[in-house]
Amino acid sequence: MRSRKKLGLIIAATAAAAIAIVGAGAVNASLDRDSDDLYRLLLASSDHPAGSLIDSEMSIEEATQKPLPAPWGMVWSPSSCQNFLAESVPTLFESKGWIRSTDRTSANFRHDNHYFDMVAEVDAGVDLKQVRAAALSCSDGTLTLDDTVTGKIRYSEVPGRELPDAESLTMNVEISFPEAKNAEEAAIMAKYGYGSGAAIDIIKKELLILIGNLLYTVLSPDAEVAQRAVDVFHENATK
């Protein structure tokens, strides 16, 4: 259970939102890949338009064994606002895969410039309808920092590009905080990368694609970057 919670928190950094389901298929679904094989399906960091934001890379196995990055005084309500993937894909944490992201422990970490992507081979399969339902149950959620500052987190469904031989989901996530009431609240917002006290409203794009039992998800402040990452993964996974 402890490892499951750790990876859930790492994935929660995506702050995923709304989903649109388009298409279905199963290409190369039964191949037995290891984590390195899965890594090679991704858009290479050296060629990635968001490459400068990728400074943390690890396998899913490594992620479940590492201590939680600090700080973690973050409480989501309902729980799906934090763990919609964990709740809808129960075997995700036993899967082979890879995670890349902007390092949350960096002093310069900011949620408005945070990148995340993950590939996983889920042997038990993924039901994207369940993923969609879990995400959309956070249509009017809250995010509280250090039991003091509370903002809103909203998942909303948006259209997405159809890709052949794949199921795909396109998501928006909006996180907003009111202006800090005092210096303490401003410091807490800064601690978690949510500005320095001014009111904020952050909207990011998250895309998911499923090819057989291969699940790929990417979160980016730039929708074009997210789509490029998905397109490269789709091309590599369907060769």
Q: Give the pLDDT score at 19.
A: 28
Name the nearest CA neighbour of 100 among 57, 51, 47, 38: 57
Residue 65, phi then psi, degrees to nearest 5 = -100, -15
pLDDT in tens, 71-96: 579 999 999 998 899 899 999 988 99
DSSP H or E segment with residue 116 = strand 116-121
The fraction of the chain above a pLDDT of 90, given in percent, is 53
Which residue segments constitute the domains of the chain, with CATH numbers given? 2-237 (3.40.1000)
Q: Using one digit for the tens of pLDDT, what is the confidence trace for 154-204?
A: 999 899 999 999 999 998 989 999 999 999 999 999 988 899 899 999 999
- Give how far Cα 114 sits from Cα of 39, 91, 129, 136, Å: 20, 26, 27, 22
